[in-house]
Amino acid sequence: MARGKFITLEGIEGVGKTTNLAFIKTLLQQHKLQVVATREPGGTLLAEKIRHLLLDPDTELLSESAELLLIFAARAQHLKQVIEPALAQGLWVVCDRFTDATYAYQGGGRNMKASTIEWLEQWVQGNLRPDLTLLLDAPVEIGMARAKMRRGDLDLDRFEQEQRHFFEHVRRAYLLQLELHPERITLIKANQPLAEVQHAIVAAMRPLLR
């Protein structure tokens, strides 16, 4: 049995990852492929509990190291329970965020050393990397405005409550990942109309679907 493909969606808040994950799942199903749609942090019962700790604005103040380790703890469980078994069975996995988000949020946003993230990435993931990463990119002010429109100021999670300069650092870190891994990451301009965004997604996925 052929191993499944692993596709990840990345980007700052408000760029449309949830909407486009559903679009990609439908697209793959139209190609008669079995799909697992999931997210990070999360994807298993335990990892979702860790997600709640990470996103809850009322959680006690987390140190940068604790935040990073919690994210990789959730990822280790997610990989073992969901992602690796699905890929081994020939299913395609589409994930809302993966390790590029760690380089962006904890590396760029929290100013943690890339070498620390790289060590944890190798330890937890081994050689597993996405087959394709779609980086949905938009100016920070657009993403923040969309996030607030969707959730409202009172419902923003611990990350969404960060200030604009935090997300500027996150966005720059994402774009650095694009420079470092152009063979894997495709930039999708998310400030276009949705139909154009999804046209670009289909074009980026075409080589995998052949």
Query: Residue 151's pLDDT is what?
Result: 64
Q: Residue 103: which residues within 8 A CB-CB, separation 6 or more?
A: 114, 117, 173, 174, 176, 177
Query: Residue 182's pLDDT is what?
Result: 98
Q: How far apart are CA 11 and CA 100, in angstroms?
A: 9
Query: Residue 68's pLDDT is what?
Result: 98
Q: How far apart are CA 62 and CA 56, in angstroms?
A: 11
Query: Residue 152's pLDDT is what?
Result: 58
Superfamily of domain covering 6-209: P-loop containing nucleotide triphosphate hydrolases (3.40.50.300)
Query: Residue 25's pLDDT is what?
Result: 98
Query: Residue 135's pLDDT is what?
Result: 98
Per-position DSSP letters for the chain, written without gaps between them: -PPPPEEEEE-STTS-HHHHHHHHHHHHHHTT--EEEEESS-SSHHHHHHHHHHH-TTSPPPPHHHHHHHHHHHHHHHIIIIIHHHHHTT-EEEEE--HHHHIIIIIIIS---HHHHHHHHHHHHTT---SEEEEEE--HHHHHHHHHHHH-GGG--TTTTS-HHHHHHHHHHHHHHHHH-TTTEEEEETTS-HHHHHHHHHHHHHHHH-
pTM: 0.94
**How many C-beta atoms lie closer than 10 Å to residue 34's C-beta?**
12
How high is the mean pLDDT in each 10-residue block of the chain (210 residues)? Answer: 95 94 98 98 98 90 95 98 98 98 97 98 98 97 83 71 90 98 98 97 96
- Region for 14 from its dihedrals, namely left if φ exceeds 0, alpha if ψ lies in -120 to 50, beta otherwise: left
Query: Residue 168's pLDDT is what?
Result: 96
Query: Residue 161's pLDDT is what?
Result: 79
Q: Residue 128: which residues within 8 A CB-CB, separation 6 or more?
A: 6, 79, 83, 84
pLDDT in tens, 114-144: 999 999 999 999 999 999 999 999 999 998 8
